[in-house]
Amino acid sequence: MDLSASIKKLNRKYVMIKIEHLKVWTKEEKSWWRRKPTKPEVIIVNDVSASIKTGEFVAVIGPSGAGKTTFLVSLAGKCTLPNSGTVTVNGTDIKKVQRGLIEIVPQFDVFMDSITVKEHLLFMTEMKLGSVKKSSHRQTLAKLLKELKLTMLQYSPISSLSGGERRLLSLATSLLSSPQIIICDEPTTGLDSYNAALVIGVLKQLAVSGRTVICSVHQPSSDLFKEFNSIALMSEGRMVFHGSQGECKKLFEKFNLRCPKNYNPAEFYIKAVSEASNDYASALENYCDQSDECDESSFVAARTHRHLQT
C-alpha cells in the first residue's frame, strides 16, 4: 500500500513533512558575446531545515523577498528552479507522493464568472475525481459546500461573489481530492478584514480536523496572526525561526526584543529581522556570544550586523 492510500485509510492520522538543507537558486546567465555574467546566481532559499506535523496551522512570514513563495512551491514538489536538499512526507520524497495528497491554493483566483458555484465544483469534480454520478463524489461536494460556508451560494453566479467567497471557492476546488496537506500562498491578500477573517477561520478548522495547513501571509493583523499555532519566520532565504508563538516570543525576549503592548507581533518579528536598531543588534550579538544554543538566532545577529554596516 502506498503512502497516500495508507493515510486515507487511517483517516488523516499522523503525517510529518521533513525539510532537510533545502536550497533553491537561480542560474547564472551569461551573454554569448561577453565574458562577464549578465545575471549573477541568486540564492532564494538557503539551507532550510524544519519539520511540520499534522494539525499545524503554519504562518510563513518575513520581509518581501525572503523566499516565502519559493519555499511553499518547494514544499509541494513543484519547484522548477535548480535546488538541492530533500523534502519528504513520512519518509517518501515529495515528488513521489501520490497526486492529490498535497494541494496548493493559488494566490489569484481564476474562474469562469458566468457559471454558478455548484456548476464550477461539479466540473472540477469531474476533472479531478471522475464521474460526478458516483454518490461518494456528490457527498464530498455537499460536505465541502457546508464546511466552507458555500451552501447558500451554490446557485449564485461566480461573478456575484465577494473576494472572500471567491477565495473560499478556490479552496473548495483544492479540497475536492481530500488532501492531507494544504499550502496557501497569501490567502488573505486583497481581502477586507471580514473576508480575511472568514478565510483564516475556515483554514484553521481544516487544521483542527487533522490536516496540515501552511500559509504565507503578508502583514497579517494581530487578530488573524493569533489564529495560527505555528510560525515560520524567514529572512534572506533562511528559516530564522519555526515553532509556536509562545516559543517565538521567548526567543526574542532573550535578546531583549520585547513586543510592545498593543503592537502587532507579526510586524514586530518581521521588523526585527529586517531593519533592527543598534540596541537590537547589541542584544542579539551579546546573546550569541554567550550561548551555544542559537543556530537560528545567530543568523538574526549576523543579518542585523550587516544591515548596520551598510
Model pLDDT for residues 5-55, shown as the tens digit of each residue: 433 443 456 789 999 999 999 988 776 666 677 778 899 999 999 999 999
Strands (E), 54-202: 57-61, 83-89, 92-93, 102-105, 181-185
Angle at Cα 134 formed by Cα 164 and Cα 9, nearest 5°?
80
Q: Which residue has the higher pLDDT, 43 or 280?
A: 43
Condensed to tens digits (0 to 9), the pLDDT of residues 229-275 reads 999 999 989 998 999 999 999 989 988 889 998 999 999 999 988 86
Q: What pLDDT does residue 125 have?
A: 86
Q: Which residue has the higher pLDDT, 187 or 147?
A: 187
What pTM value is reported for the model? 0.82
Condensed to tens digits (0 to 9), the pLDDT of residues 7-16 reads 344 345 678 9
